[in-house]
Amino acid sequence: MAGQAKREKQAVSHAEHRKRLRERFLKVGLSGFSDHEVLEFFLTLAIPRKDVKPQAKALLVKFKTLRGVLEAPIAKLVEIPGVGEQAAVQIRFLHSFLERILKDRMREAEPTLASPAAVRDYLQVGMEGLREEVIQVLYLDAKNAIIESENLERGTVDQASVYPRKIIERAIHHNAVSFILVHNHPSGDPTPSEDDKALTKALAAAARTMGMSLHDHIVIGKDKDFSFRENGLMT
């Protein structure tokens, strides 16, 4: 009986705490929330009827930041005690949802991606922190406004794994005038490899034969990027 009464008291306490978090959010948004409170509030939606503060704090200890939590693989998220597959899937869904919103916002604003900084702002949510290399292409119109962006390959970037013909075919499909090749370096160092340089040269040549242009090749690292154009490596 005593154990049952204790559990009921804890359930009421958790419910009251959840209610206070919800009321704070409705009143002032996330202003004043610490990172673990932000994550805790999200987990209350994913994990009902239990105290999720320990899980929120454990996630931040393991993955360091809110962004680190959102970018973590499901297999790593579920290693945290109390974070089941359902909560892990919802965390990853939130990351993908935010990425989609950013892309929609860029399209609605008819962005001109004429600088590496603009490209970085557009892609940072989706590409920084990834644990494998991802190749993305941004297809642009005559005003450098984005028409579409596509993830084409995953894994090591080299000329053999990324066929210029495939990128050119997709550019024709989107009626693009130019395009920007982007990929990340999971190591965090954006310095281009010899394979990166060879791919850029081959792709620029293929684009010219079709009356298009490779606007730039951007390598995304950790908190910094490398632009082939800015560094005089576009040929």
Q: Are residues 8 and 80 in the same domain?
A: yes
Nearest alpha carbon to residue 166 among 197, 187, 135, 192: 135
Q: How far apart are CA 24 and CA 78, in angstroms?
A: 28
Tell me the residue type at 38: V
Q: How far apart are CA 216 and CA 115, in angstroms?
A: 9
Q: Are residues 118 and 162 in the same domain?
A: yes
Q: Are residues 20 and 75 in the same domain?
A: yes
Per-residue pLDDT at 175: 94
Q: In the numeric block, which tokens belong to residue 106?
A: 């860029």
Count Cβ atoms below 10 Å from residue 41 Cβ, excluding itself.
Answer: 18
Nearest alpha carbon to residue 187 among 161, 223, 154: 223
C-alpha neighbours within 13 Å on the C-beta side of residue 135: 20
Domain end (from 74, 99, 124)? 99
Per-residue pLDDT at 29: 81
Q: Are residues 136 and 190 in the same domain?
A: yes
Per-residue pLDDT at 99: 75
Q: Are residues 194 and 136 in the same domain?
A: yes
Question: pLDDT tens, 180-222?
Answer: 998 888 888 889 988 889 889 999 999 999 999 999 998 888 7
Domain end (from 49, 71, 99)? 99
Per-residue pLDDT at 149: 81
Query: What is the SS3 assignment for 85?
Result: helix
Q: How far apart are CA 150 and CA 138, in angstroms?
A: 7
Q: How far apart are CA 44 and CA 22, in angstroms?
A: 9
Tally of domains in the chain: 2
Q: Are residues 127 and 214 in the same domain?
A: yes
Question: pLDDT tens, 84-139?
Answer: 999 999 999 988 888 777 666 655 555 555 455 666 666 665 565 566 778 889 89
Q: What secondary structure letter does DSSP report for 82?
A: T
Element (H, E) at 225: strand 225-227
Per-residue pLDDT at 112: 54
Tell me the residue type at 51: D
**What are the start-end ranges of the H helices in the chain?**
2-28, 35-46, 53-63, 66-71, 74-77, 85-108, 116-127, 164-173, 194-209
Q: Are residues 147 and 217 in the same domain?
A: yes
Question: pLDDT tens, 35-93?
Answer: 988 888 888 888 877 888 999 999 999 988 888 888 888 999 999 999 999 999 999 99
Q: Going edge to edge, which strands form the sheet with 178-184? A: 146-154, 134-140, 178-184, 213-220, 225-227
Q: Are residues 7 and 80 in the same domain?
A: yes
Question: pLDDT tens, 148-192?
Answer: 888 776 665 544 456 788 899 999 999 999 999 988 888 888 899
Q: In the numeric block, which tokens belong to residue 175?
A: 């009626």
Q: Are residues 115 and 217 in the same domain?
A: yes
Per-residue pLDDT at 67: 80
Q: Are residues 114 and 90 in the same domain?
A: no
- Torsion, CA 34, CA 38, CA 41, CA 42, rounded to 10: -160
- With 70 as the cut, is the pLDDT of residue 223 above it? yes
Per-residue pLDDT at 102: 67
- pTM comes to 0.58
Q: Decide if 162 is inside a domain.
A: yes
Whichever domain contains 222, its CATH number is 3.40.140.10
The parent domain of residue 38 ranges over 2-99
